Structure 1
Amino acid sequence: MAKVSKVRRKSNSRHLKAAPYPLPSSSQKVLEDVHSKKKCSKAHERKDWENATCSVCLEFPHNAVLLLCSSYNKGCRPYMCATSCRYSNCLDQYKKAYTKVTSIESAQQGSMDHPSFNLGLGQPNEKTEVMELLCPLCRGQVKGWTVVDSAREYLNAKKRTCMQDNCSFVGNYKRLRKHVKAEHPLARPRRVDPTLEAKWKKS
């Protein structure tokens, strides 16, 4: 009889260990809040992508990059095409539009580094290119750009017209690449509209 009692106790112990423990109501509420915030965040991102327009070509941005401007934390999300020169080439054109050639006075520095060379004539000024990018949406300073893989994938699936004059082809990024390679092997991007360029630079 003692052995039977011992077996029953082990069976009861196993049964208790297997029983699930319900989460406290406070922890469950936290998990629900986190899930709700993630859902809202994804919906907001989706809306940003749906409304995204490249400020250079005024189309859905293909092979898009996200410009990191000073208003990023306030919700500014300027997406721009980063395609090659065979397509719209928007990012490169945007950078060129903001590149300035500035002169750096080097005579004083040269005389300090090499006092014996200072003959009162000085040295010629050095010229360097400096980019001062402004966000096309909020006019804040752009510090760089990044690739958002999910946004790029979503926007690449969007259809847009071929950038070549007198061409009515419409397709997503993958189809456009095949079209341009087959139909416009010597294609080059159109020049930036001077009105748009002036608008970018206007502070």
Structure 2
Amino acid sequence: MPSGTGRPQGDRAARARRTGGAVVLAALGAVGLAACGDSPEGEVSTVTLEDLRELEDDVAALEERVAVLEGAQLGPATTTSPAAPSSEAGDGPDTTFLSDPSGSLGEEVTVTATIRSATVSDIGSVFRLADGTGRSVPVVSATPTGALADGDVVEVSGTVLRIEESTFEQDFGIAPDELVEEPDRWLRENEGDVAISADRVAIVQEEQGS
């Protein structure tokens, strides 16, 4: 059988009124029978105003009881509120990464910082990301990045690797002599440094006056 939990409030109220009306009729019948039984033959007893008030009290109590029972059957109402948006505090991943890039070795990162020492060719680019405190990290891109200039603020996404002369081309996907004019010198200066093998380089803000 279908559950009563889906019935509207109006149906419950109507059912309570029907129940109350039945009680009134039954009570009136009982009063009438009692009057007939107690009165001498031929006498007619009337229902007093006090009797009616008592019946009204009984009906009101019954309706209240029906409402309580139906409320218990329905169970408590529940409401769902949307979760409040959360935010994380802190100085951001850029500062954290530049302060300790070796802690992200082998990981994919996205870093926003200022370009220093940019060298751009038709097939790739190499530059350093700096935070203005003297800390910087090399970035190697094996794909064209378009025009880049020192002072541009860029967002770089890629994998964090360590520069090793013997595996540079394998690790970064490009030979150093395709990026810089003095590849041997560049490798000596950056050997062992942690760098980003960039998959994407996007300019966030161009250097003022460029």
> Please, what TM-score do these two structures have when normalized by structure 1?
0.29
More strand, by proportion: 2
Relative contact order higher in (CA < 8 Å, ≥ 6 apart): 1
- Structure-2-length-normalised TM-score: 0.28
